Structure 1
Amino acid sequence: MVRLVSLLIAVATLSACGTTRPTEDPRDLVVLVHGMGRTPLSMVPMGIGLRRAGYRVLNVGYDSGAPSVAEIAAGVGAEVKAALVEQPAPRVHFVGHSLGTVVIRWLLVHDPPEAAGRAVLLAPPNQGSHEADRWAGLVRWTFPPITELRTTGGTAVDLGAPPGVEVAVIAASRDGKVAVEETCLEGAAHAVVSSGHTFVMMRPRVIGMVRTFLAGEPLPGDSDTACADVLG
C-alpha cells in the first residue's frame, strides 16, 4: 500500500512538472535595436538606464550586411517571440537608433507583438536621408539596407507610422547624417536634443526622456516645430 501511494505521488509530481508554463513577468519588456554598422554595445547605456527604471531589456544584435530591412526585422521579431515564450510580459516597447528605427517600424507594421506598447525612435530617417542618397551607391555592397534609407522609393519613406502604437521621435540637432526635418513622422511626438548622430542614444538626458515616455508620460523636452511644414 505504501509503495502504491508513493507511486501515485511520483506520477502526480511528474505530470505537474510536464505541464508547468512560464510565469508572466510583471515588468514590461523593452527591445533595443542599434543602428547601421553598430553592435548591441552601443545600446548598453540605454539598457542600464531602463533596467534601473524597472524594465526587462532585450538588446538585440543584427548584421548590417543583411540583404534587407525585412530580413533584419524578421530576425529581431524571432528573438522577441522567443523571449516572450520564455517569459511573457504585459507590454513590449521598442527603442531604436538610426537604421534600427526603420527595422522597428517594419516589425510593428508587418508583425507586431500582441502586447505592443510604445516606441521611441532616435535620430530616425523617417523621411529617408539625403546622406543615404549620397552614399548608397558607394557603400551598398557593404551595407545593402542603406538603399532603403533613400529619400525616394525606400522602405524608410514608404512604411509610414505603425498603426496603434504611440511613437516618440528624438532628433539630434547636430546630427550630420539625418536632418531634423528627415526625422518627422506623422502622428509621432517630436523633440530635438543637442547631440550628434553617433552617440545620441548614450546621452543621459535622452535616456531620461525615453524612460519618461515609456512610463506613459508625454515626451519631455522642447517640441520641435519643423515637422509642421514637412508633414503639412
Structure 2
Amino acid sequence: MQSLSQWRDRAEMLTPPFPWDRPRWRDRGGETVVLLHGLWRGWRAMQPLARALEAEGYSTLNIPYPSARLPIGTLANHVRSHIEKVASDRPVNFITHSLGGILARAILSENPSWATGKVIMLAPPHGGSEIVDWSRNHPLLHLALGPAGRSLGTDGAPTTLPFLPAGTDAAVIMGSRCSIPIFKGLLGDQNDGIVSADRGKIEGLKGFSVIDADHTFIQMHPETIRLSLQFLKDGTWPA
C-alpha cells in the first residue's frame, strides 16, 4: 500500500513542465549530481531522487529542458550550458531518466572531462523504442513526440550517437513492470511499458539491473535509490 508521502511524490512527478521552470541547484557541499528528466516531463519528475541524494550530502543540479520541442543536439547544448555554470573542481555525476540518458551520451562525448564522475541511467532507450517505430503509423502521436522523441526509433539517433567515453563508470537500471498494456505486444518480454529492457544496454557498462518498476516512476523506486547511492559512493554494482 502506498504511503501518503509516496502519493505526494507521484503527484509531484506527474506535474507537467512550465515555461518558467528553471534549473534547481542545491549545494550540499558534496559531489555534484546532474539530474535529467525524460520526454514530456519536467524537473519535478526527478525531485524524489534529488531529495534522497541531498540527504546523503550530494549537491544536485536538476535541469529542465524543452524535451518535446527541439532535437537532441540542441537539447544537449541547452543542458551543457547549465552544467558549465556549476562545474568546478568537484566531480560531476549524472543520473538520468529515459531521453535524459541519450542527452548524457551526447554531452559526455563532447565533454569527456565530465566523464570522471559516475553515470546512472534509468530506462534509457539506447537501442531505441519499438513504440516510436509504431508511432510512425499514427501521425498525431508521432508529431507529439517532438524532434528528439521521433529520433528514438530502433533505427534512430540512439544507435548512431557516440558511446560513452572510454573508462566512464556507467550503469543502467531498467524496469520490468508494464503499466501500459496497449504497448505490451510491441515490446520485448521484459519491458517497462515504454522501453524493452534489452534496449537499455550499451557498450562499456559497469552495471546493469532490471527491477520491478514501470517507466513513469522508476526514479522513486527504493531499489533505484539504493543502487544509485551505492554506485555513487564506491562504484560497486551487485553481480
TM > 0.5 = yes
Partner of 1:207: 225
Answer with 1 or 2: which has the greater Rg: 1
Which consecutive segments of 4 or more residues in structure 1 shift more than 6 A?
A: none
Q: Name the SS for the 2:40 alignment partner.
A: coil
Residue number in structure 1 paired with 2:168: 165
Percent identity (aligned): 32
Which has the higher mean CA deviation after the structures are superposed, 35-44 or 126-135? 126-135
Unaligned runs of 5+ in 1: 1-23, 224-232
**C-alpha distance in structure 1 between counterparts of 2:193 and 2:170, whole Å:** 23
Out of 218, 223, 230, the position equivalent to 2:236 is: 218
**Rounded Cα–Cα distance in structure 1 between residues aligned with 2:105 and 2:229:** 20
Aligned amino acid, residue 158 of structure 2: A
In the alignment, the residues of structure 2 paired with residue 105 and residue 210 of structure 1 have an alpha-carbon distance, to the nearest angstrom, of 18
> Could you tell me whether the CA contact under 8 Å between 1:90 and 1:115 is conserved in 2?
no
Secondary structure (helix, strand or coil) at the match of 1:146 reads: helix
1:146 match = 149
Query: What's the Cα RMSD here?
Result: 1.9
Aligned residues: 194
Conservation of the 8 A alpha-carbon contact between 1:160 and 1:186: no
TM score, norm. by length of structure 2: 0.76
Q: 1:212 to 1:178 in 2, by over 3 A?
A: same
Who is 1:178 aligned against?
Answer: 195
The answer to whether residue 54 in structure 2 is matched with residue 37 in structure 1 is: no
Alpha-carbon separation, structure 1, partners of 2:113 and 2:65: 19
What is the alpha-carbon distance in structure 1 between the residues aligned to residue 176 and residue 83 of structure 2?
Answer: 32
Secondary structure of the residue aligned to 1:168 is strand
The corresponding residue for 1:191 is 209
- Give TM-score scaled by structure 1 length: 0.78
Gaps of 5+ in 2: 1-26, 178-191
Superposed displacement of residue 212, structure 1: 0.6
CA distance in 2, matches of 1:113, 1:38: 28
User: What residue in structure 2 maps to residue 94 of structure 1?
Assistant: 94
The 3-state SS of whatever aligns with 1:58 is strand
Query: Which amino acid is 1:109 matched to?
Result: S
The superposition leaves residues 2-45 of structure 1 with CA deviations (integer Å, 9 ceiling, x where unpaired) of: xxxxxxxxxxxxxxxxxxxxxx9862100000000000001001
Following the alignment from structure 1 to structure 2, what is the Cα–Cα distance between the partners of residues 113 and 83?
14
